[in-house]
Amino acid sequence: MKRTISIASLNIIIVLITSTLFSQTNFKEYKVGHIVSVSLPDYMSRTVDINSSSIIQYKSSVKDVYGFIIEDNKEELAIAEINYSSINEFCEDFAKGFLKDEKKKTFSYPEYQKKGDMNFAEFDAAYYDKEAKAEIYYLVGIVETKTCYYKVLSYTSKENKDKFKADFQSILYSLKD
């Protein structure tokens, strides 16, 4: 019995040694995902079903405010052969496609600023929503970090713009990665 156990153990050791000796593939380690933090007003909470591409979604149904953040990783953009020279170029490219199918829309000029090693852009956008029969206001924010671009979109009815714009800006400028 002892001899059978030792022969089985010897066979396992031989298999392990030969499988590592004949491995011809080299592996490169990839790290994916990272921690992103953002501060939301206490009247808002995390949610789902606003935008499936987002890394976080938030809302307050009572106050009729909503938002989400989408991450565009620079390394993944480069793999797809999409390269931006600056936040200005990224922001301009995004704004071209944002609300492109809406007929009654308005945009403000983007404002740019740098805080530490992060670049920020923000602009206002609004359009008339036929289903809601109301104008919808967006504060659109773009954040550039060393590794990513983030699109921070917060929205409400246009009549509530002045009430919530400062909170939307606080959400935008609180983002850190």
Please report the pLDDT score of residue 27 as a whole number: 66
Please report the pLDDT score of residue 103 as a whole number: 87
Answer whether 113's CB lies under 8 Å from 88's CB: no
Q: Tokens 């929205």 identify what position?
A: 155
**Nearest-CA neighbor of 150 among 158, 160, 142?**
142
Asked: is 30-174 a CATH 3.40.1000.10 domain? The reply is: yes
- Each domain of the chain, given as residue ranges in start order, spans 30-174
Please report the pLDDT score of residue 52 as a whole number: 92
pLDDT (tens digit, 0 to 9) for every residue of the chain, 177 residues total? 455 556 656 566 665 555 555 556 666 666 656 788 999 999 999 999 999 999 999 999 999 999 999 999 999 999 999 999 999 999 999 999 999 989 899 999 999 999 999 999 999 999 999 998 999 999 999 999 999 999 999 999 999 999 999 999 999 999 998
Please report the pLDDT score of residue 17 as a whole number: 58
Q: Give the chain's end-to-end CA distance (angstroms, integer).
A: 60
Copy the structure tokens of residue 42.
């206490």
